[in-house]
Amino acid sequence: MPIAILDDATIGKISAGEVIERPASVVKELVENALDAHAHSITIDIAAGGKELIRVRDDGDGIAPSDLLSAVERHTTSKLRSFEDLKQLTSFGFRGEALASVAAVADLRILTRIADDRAGWELRSEFGKRAHPAPVAAAHGTTITARDLFANVPARRKFLRQDGTEAGYIQRVINAYALAFPDIRFELTIDGKTALATDGSGDLASAAVGVFGADVAAQMVPLEPPQFDDDHEDAGIVVSGLIGLPTVTRGNRQQLILLVNRRWIENRSLAFALEQSYHTLIMVGRYPIAVISITVPPDRVDVNVHPTKREVRFSDERLVFSMLQRAARGTLMQQTPAQSIPIMIESPLSADTVQRRMALANPERIQATPPLFPRAADGPSAVDRPVRTPVAVEPDIPLLRVLGQVSSTYIIAEGPDGMYLVDQHAAHERILLEKVLKLHARGAADAQQLLEPIIIDLTPEQLATVETAREELAQLGFALELFGQGSVALRSIPAIMSRKDPVKTVLAILDEVGRGGRGTSRFEAVAMTTACHSAIRAGQTLSLAEMRELLAQLEGCTAPRACAHGRPTILHLSQDELERQFSRR
Ligand code: ADP
Ligand code: MG
């Protein structure tokens, strides 16, 4: 093909691809424009994940009629005149690309009125075809409506995920900006229902209530600035925000929001700095909730690293990193540690002692259903073991008599020496993990065929996990085959998972394994995650028979005292301790 200059429509579609990846990108650009226009109130309405409709309404400066046409041209901006200006930039926009990009791939309507004008103006642009602006009645400010996004780029449209997923991405954008601008009122409606509303009072804690909900926001505390720190004053860097107490965590990083000069950014090393400050305070695989706001002089941060402006480069990255980490750690340490109950996991009891005592107390219990996993009969008994017992060979648990359930989460039981509380989820997780590991050791897997294969849409990361952990997933009983672009067909699942929603569970497992998981091998990581997601949940009411069965199976485990993550499965309040607590002694 001879070389030729591309026509405008083609250039438009190509460059739109860089800025506008999905509906959430449109929302982000439109909200940023409203912010640049000094809005006090921004309302966002979306329908069908933003594919059908995105509407962003602001009460900002408006666009002068003489500027309306150029607003949708490429590289037209009112915010930047020369490359030098970039160094002192305080606006979100500067590339002049966003509106032009949206105009190239959507049915776009701009309705706007500047304060000085009596009438407003409307500009319609259908997939790049512009009509002349027409005068209309309009409130002061700007409303931009984008419909049928990517209808003229079917390849893009096909790449979009389900409505709910796309709406989730949009919600994240609005969460971030609502937290970055507590002084601005945000409202998001998804298919007509209010998904978020902040009051614009200027108080970050109030904005957090709007974004995270009152329960979670109540467990967040202001980040204390690091003490005895002169470096940052010279550099003009300020770190502030709200961080979640260790009592409130999430299974992913989606609620860790990083803002630099009120710009929502992605930065692995800062996320890591924050996570590290929670080290030992929250469990492995759990992530803190936080909104971290970093203020840096504009000339010490480069925002022009990527077309979507989600990445930034600091000239003092290490300083920012250590400031955040010290601030977060200091804040967490100031919070009084959680109340600890005077209960310790008891020291090992010999299996013999248990059998003897239980036989006296409860003879028929000894004849209980044979455990699924016989205990290692020929190993040394618990009391013979050296004190430095490695975690992997924890002592057995005594035989227990079920009394009931607390909070639909803990099984309360009586044992040879007092009272025992068993975390039903942790216990079941341990049982399932040992079950699959044992099968695996024999080179077997307990797979359950699905009646019909299920097609599941995956994110690129989830797909990558299917590729890398293909063998291990198969060894556990997952039959997953690539199915078209971005999807897999699920044909079988591990039998232990059969009571769970297969799609949700598979996605959760892929996400967790994709993040690295735990375990000494990839198989173990996959097995642990699968056990965790297959286990009964906290909050599930169990019958007496189910609780008995659970404990019987737990007794049969080789390491019954810790779940797959190392959390305890059992707490023990000894007879002595009971007597002391009730002042009988
Ligand atoms: P940029 O934001 O990089 O300047 P955009 O394509 O996003 O480029 O917008 C082009 C121009 O349109 C902006 O510079 C601004 O002058 C105007 N504009 C866009 N949205 C709004 C709005 N909501 N209120 C006022 N002006 C707007
Ligand atoms: Mg813009």
Q: Count Cα atoms within 13 angstroms, Cβ side, for 248.
A: 18
DSSP H or E stretch at residue 152 = none
pLDDT at 386 over 50: no
Read off φ and ψ for residue 134, nearest 5 degrees. -125, 145
Ligand nearest to the CA of 99: 1
Which residue's CA is the nearest one to ligand 1's atom 10?
71
Which residue's CA is the nearest one to ligand 1's atom 19?
33
97 closest CA partner among 126, 77, 122: 77
Q: Is 34 in the pocket of ligand 1 (CB under 6 A)?
A: yes
Q: Is 97 in the pocket of ligand 1 (CB under 6 A)?
A: yes
The three state secondary structure string of 294-360 is EECCHHHEECCCCCCCCCCEECCHHHHHHHHHHHHHHHHHHCCCCCCCCCCCCCCCCHHHHHHHHHH
Which ligand 1 atom is at minimum distance from the Cα of 141?
24
Q: What separation in Å is there between the alpha carbon of 549 and the centre of ligand 2?
A: 61
Which residue's CA is the nearest one to ligand 1's atom 7?
98
Quickly state the pLDDT bin for 279 (edges 50, 70, 90).
Answer: confident
**Residue carrying the six token digits 């692995």:** 268
Predicted pLDDT at 340: 28
105, 9 contact by CB (below 8 A): no
pLDDT at 15 over 90: no
- For 471-529, the pLDDT digits (tens) are 999 999 999 998 888 899 999 999 999 888 999 999 999 998 888 766 667 888 899 99
**Residue carrying the six token digits 């002595």:** 576
Quickly state the pLDDT bin for 360 (edges 50, 70, 90).
Answer: very low
Token reading at 5: 């200059």
Say which range, 66-70, 363-367, 410-414, has the weakest mean pLDDT.
Answer: 363-367
Residue 158, C-beta contacts closer than 8 angstroms, at least 6 positions apart: none
Cα(333)–Cα(277) distance, integer angstroms? 10
When pLDDT is averaged across residues 322-343 and rounded to a whole number, the result is: 66
Q: What separation in Å is there between the alpha carbon of 71 and the centre of ligand 1?
A: 6
pLDDT at 57 over 90: yes
Q: What separation in Å is there between the alpha carbon of 154 and the centre of ligand 1?
A: 27
Could you tell me the CA-to-CA distances from 32 to 45, 125, 305, 407 in Å, in that order?
15, 20, 17, 46
pLDDT at 97 over 90: no
Which residue's CA is the nearest one to ligand 1's atom 17?
71
Predicted pLDDT at 77: 75
Long-range CB pairs of 153-156, under 8 A, 24+ apart, other chains included: 153/13, 153/16, 153/17, 153/105, 156/17, 156/105
Could you tell me the CA-to-CA distances from 152 to 72, 155, 161, 162, 562 in Å, in that order?
18, 9, 17, 19, 55
25, 79 contact by CB (below 8 A): no
Quickly state the pLDDT bin for 372 (edges 50, 70, 90).
Answer: very low
Q: Is 99 in the pocket of ligand 1 (CB under 6 A)?
A: yes
Predicted pLDDT at 87: 65
Predicted pLDDT at 382: 34
350, 382 contact by CB (below 8 A): yes
Q: What separation in Å is there between the alpha carbon of 77 and the centre of ligand 1?
A: 6
Say which range, 228-232, 242-246, 431-435, 543-547, has the weakest mean pLDDT.
Answer: 228-232
Quickly state the pLDDT bin for 239 (edges 50, 70, 90).
Answer: very high
Q: What separation in Å is there between the alpha carbon of 146 and the centre of ligand 2?
A: 15
When pLDDT is averaged across residues 72-77 and rounded to a whole number, the result is: 75
Ligand nearest to the CA of 71: 1
Which residue's CA is the nearest one to ligand 1's atom 14?
77
Q: Is 534 in the pocket of ligand 1 (CB under 6 A)?
A: no
Quickly state the pLDDT bin for 230 (edges 50, 70, 90).
Answer: low
Which DSSP letter does residue 568 get? B
- DSSP string for 155-191: HHHHH---HHHHHHHHHHHHHHHHHH-TTSEEEEEET
When pLDDT is averaged across residues 379-387 and rounded to a whole number, the result is: 36
When pLDDT is averaged across residues 540-567 and rounded to a whole number, the result is: 85
Q: What separation in Å is there between the alpha carbon of 105 and the centre of ligand 1?
A: 17
pLDDT at 385 over 80: no
Q: Is 58 in the pocket of ligand 1 (CB under 6 A)?
A: yes
Is 0.75 surpassed by the pTM of this model?
Answer: no
Partners of 243 in the β-ladder: 221, 290
Q: Is 93 in the pocket of ligand 1 (CB under 6 A)?
A: yes
- For 135-185, the pLDDT digits (tens) are 999 999 999 999 999 999 998 898 899 999 999 999 999 999 999 999 999
Q: What separation in Å is there between the alpha carbon of 104 and the centre of ligand 2?
A: 15
